[in-house]
Structure 1
Amino acid sequence: MSFSFAADCPAVSNLRPMKPRYSLLSRFLLLTAFAAAGTAAHAAAPRIRVLLIDGQNNHGAWPQTSQVIKTVLEQSGRFDVTISRTPPDDGRKPNYGAPQPTVEDMPAELQEAWARWRPDFSKADVVISNYNGVLWPEPVREAFEAFVREGGGFVALHAADNAFAQWEEYQRMVGVGGWYGRNTRTHGPRIHWEDGRLVKDPAPHYCGAHGKRSPVLVEIRDPEHPIVRGFPEKWLHPLDEVYYNMCGPAEHLHVIATAFSDAETGGSGKDSRSSSRSITAADALSTTCWATTCRASPAGASNTCSCAAPNGRPPARSPSPRLRPAISPPKKPCKTRRRPPPKTERVHQVALPRLRARVRAPP
Structure 2
Amino acid sequence: MLKICLLFILSVFITLSVLAQKKKPIPVLIVDGFSNHDWKQTTAITKWILEENGRFLVEVSTIPADSLNRSAWNPDFSKYVLIIQNTNNIQKPSLRWPRQAEKQLEKYVSNGGGLYILHSANNAFPHWKEYDKMIGLGWRRASEGYALEVDGAKNISRIPPNEGEGTGHGERFNALIQVLTPHPINKGYPDQWQTANTEVYYFPRGPAENISVLSCAFDSTSTKRTWPVEWVVKYGKGRVYNSSLGHLWKGESYPPAYRCIGYQTTVIRAAEWLATGKVTYPVPPDFPTALKLSLRPENSYQTP
Q: For this structure pair, what is the TM-score category when the shorter chain's length is used for normalisation?
A: 0.5 to 0.7
Let me know the Cα RMSD of the aligned residues: 1.6
The one of 155, 167, 175 aligned to 1:197: 155
Distance 1:235 1:58 in 2: 28
The one of 81, 88, 106 aligned to 1:132: 88
Is the aligned partner of 1:251 residue 2:212? no
Is the aligned partner of 1:260 residue 2:215? no
Give the letter for the 1:122 counterpart.
S
Give the letter for the 2:179 counterpart.
I
What SS is found at the alignment partner of 2:206? Answer: coil
- What is the aligned partner in structure 1 of residue 131 from structure 2? 170
What SS is found at the alignment partner of 1:254? Answer: strand
Distance 1:203 1:164, change over 3 A: closer
Which structure's relative contact order is higher, taking Cα pairs within 8 Å and 6+ residues apart? 2
TM superposition shift of 1:197: 2.1
The one of 269, 283, 291 aligned to 2:224: 269
Distance 1:203 1:143 in 2: 30
- What is the aligned partner in structure 1 of residue 112 from structure 2? 151
What SS is found at the alignment partner of 2:211? Answer: coil
Give the letter for the 1:158 counterpart.
H
Distance 2:162 2:72 in 1: 41
**Contact conserved, 2:142 with 2:161, CA < 8 A, in 1?**
no
Distance 1:259 1:218 in 2: 5
TM superposition shift of 1:203: 4.8
Within 5 Å, give how 1:205-284 maps onto structure 2. 205=163, 206-223=165-182, 225-262=183-220, 265=221, 267-270=222-225, 278-279=226-227
Distance 1:44 1:268, change over 3 A: farther
- What is the aligned partner in structure 1 of residue 50 from structure 2? 73
- What is the aligned partner in structure 1 of residue 278 from structure 2? none
> 4+ residue stretches of structure 1 with deviation over 4 A?
none
What SS is found at the alignment partner of 1:207? Answer: coil
Distance 1:137 1:261 in 2: 36
**Contact conserved, 1:177 with 1:207, CA < 8 A, in 2?**
no
Deviations along 1:42-65, whole A, 9 cap, x unmatched?
x93332111101111111x21111
TM superposition shift of 1:231: 1.0
Structure 2, unmatched stretches of 5+, are 1-20, 90-94, 229-304
- What is the aligned partner in structure 1 of residue 72 from structure 2? 116
TM superposition shift of 1:174: 0.3
Give the letter for the 1:45 counterpart.
K
- What is the aligned partner in structure 2 of residue 44 from structure 1? 22
Distance 1:175 1:188 in 2: 10
- What is the aligned partner in structure 2 of residue 55 from structure 1? 33
Structure 1, unmatched stretches of 5+, are 1-42, 89-109, 271-277, 281-363
Distance 1:226 1:156 in 2: 18
**Contact conserved, 1:50 with 1:127, CA < 8 A, in 2?**
yes
Q: Number of aligned pairs?
A: 201
- What is the aligned partner in structure 2 of residue 106 from structure 1? none
Distance 2:217 2:200 in 1: 7
**Contact conserved, 2:137 with 2:207, CA < 8 A, in 1?**
yes
Distance 1:237 1:44 in 2: 34
Distance 1:203 1:84 in 2: 35
TM superposition shift of 1:218: 0.3
TM-score under structure 1 length normalisation: 0.53
TM-score under structure 2 length normalisation: 0.63
Distance 2:142 2:166 in 1: 5
TM superposition shift of 1:176: 1.1
**Contact conserved, 1:145 with 1:169, CA < 8 A, in 2?**
yes
TM superposition shift of 1:116: 3.1
Is the aligned partner of 1:82 residue 2:59? yes
Give the letter for the 1:210 counterpart.
H
TM superposition shift of 1:208: 1.2
Moved more, 72-81 or 200-209: 200-209
TM superposition shift of 1:79: 0.5
What SS is found at the alignment partner of 1:66? Answer: helix
Higher strand share: 2
Distance 2:155 2:61 in 1: 38
Give the letter for the 2:176 counterpart.
L
